[in-house]
Amino acid sequence: MCMSTVTALLFDVFGTVVNWRDGISRDVSIIADQKGVSLDPAAFADSWRAEYQPAMEEVRSGRRSFTILDVLHRENLKKVATDFGLGALSAEDEDFLVTAWHRLPGWPDSSEGMLRLKQKFILGSQSNGNIALIVNMAKYANLPWDVVLGAEVVGHYKPQPEAYLNACTALGLATENCMMVAAHNDDLVAARAAGLKTAFVCRPTEHGIGQTKDLRAEQDWEFVAQDFNDLADKLGL
């Protein structure tokens, strides 16, 4: 495929760029140990993450005005903490866990691969995360964004088409000049429907070793890569 028209790469972040499951498990373990509670931190992370889409759907449906992800994470944490026996968290512990989403580790190839891609393309986050979350994460995980886009900037949560369209508009680019990079086929379905080019990057352990979803490209995406370095290779960098 000719890439001469693509100027910007827009990245999904949770799962594509960073390993949210291990990062959240790490910090949940710290609080559980401090409170003397025995729990499965990975199961806690999975349960907290499972509240993510229902909370955003309240916003997408119009039943709730736009609310940033930090607030949704905090609300969902209260329920999950109770379910896992952590009980009522102190304000300090609650803040520590909510900001765990700001301290997620990148995949081993993320920083290096993104730096290679940055030689030719504008790199933008196209995430449902809010600005402070993505900026703090970039500092923590050494992610070389050119621009932070996504839900708080464009006022919509993926996979609403406005999330993709408004990001392209913010860059002053047509949709065909932007390519969505994601480890999730459904994200790419929505991006392609909005007119963006697409690249699938496989992250087979995002949900742990028993992952059953998004193990392969499910459509003829313009590019399919094993990681960001592989994507850079395929883009001629």
- Cis peptide before 159, with omega less than 30 degrees from 0? yes
Which H or E element spans position 154? helix 151-154
| Averaged pLDDT for residues 206-232 | 95
Assessment of whether the complete model's pTM goes beyond 0.85: yes
What CA dihedral angle connects 81, 130, 126 and 52, to 10 degrees?
20
**How far apart are alpha carbons 10 and 188 in whole angstroms?**
11
* Segment 2-24, tens digit of pLDDT: 566 999 999 999 999 999 999 99
* Segment 95-140, tens digit of pLDDT: 999 999 999 999 999 999 999 999 999 999 999 999 999 999 999 9
Residue 1 is assigned to a structural domain of this protein? no
Domain count, the chain: 2
Residue 149 is assigned to a structural domain of this protein? yes
Where a domain ends, among 71, 102, 133? 102
Tokens of 83: 């379910």
Sheet holding 122-125, edge to edge: 147-148, 122-125, 8-11, 178-182, 197-201, 223-225
Where a domain ends, among 56, 86, 102? 102
Both 198 and 215 in one domain: the answer is: yes
* Segment 152-206, tens digit of pLDDT: 999 999 999 999 999 999 999 999 999 999 999 999 999 999 999 999 999 999 9
Note down the domain range covering 41: 20-102
